[in-house]
Amino acid sequence: MTPTTVIYNDTCPICSREVGLYRREAEATGAPVSFEGLDPERLALHGLDREAAARRFHVVRDGELLAGLDAFVALWALLPRWAWLARLIDRPVVRPVAGWVYDGIAAPLLYRMDRRRRARACRS
């Protein structure tokens, strides 16, 4: 089985903390999941650049690049403790609302927070 690959902003403390939860569960349960940071060469293989990858959560499943809520649902479905959330989010009424919350609020907010953090680090 080809592992599902999580592409995440490994320099963002919030993203790294959350993905750390997923990584620990994947390792503990033997779920077929691998994890990649924002390495430019690896990103290019998926048709992404650093900024695009940092803006949203990405997963590669069976050779297909998934982004945003689709990426979370694909990952959560593989992790026993998170599978219930994948099933809940994947419901016809819930998915559009959850997608709007992620795309319209959560992802842009996290991206702006990380950009500010990086800008402060560059000035230091």
Q: How far is CA 97 from the centre of its chain?
A: 18
pLDDT in tens, 67-112: 999 999 999 999 999 999 999 999 999 999 999 999 999 999 988 8
Contact criterion met (CB below 8 Å) for 17 and 116:
no
| Residue of 58, 54, 53, 52 whose CA lies nearest to 73 | 58
Alpha-carbon span 65 to 6, nearest angstrom: 10
Task: For the chain, count helices (H), then strands (E).
Answer: 7, 4
- To 10 degrees, the CA torsion angle through 50, 39, 23, 19? -20
pLDDT in tens, 14-65: 888 999 999 999 999 999 999 999 999 989 999 999 889 988 999 999 999 9
Q: Is the pTM higher than 0.85? A: yes
> For residue 10, is pLDDT > 80?
yes
Domain residue spans of the chain: 4-123
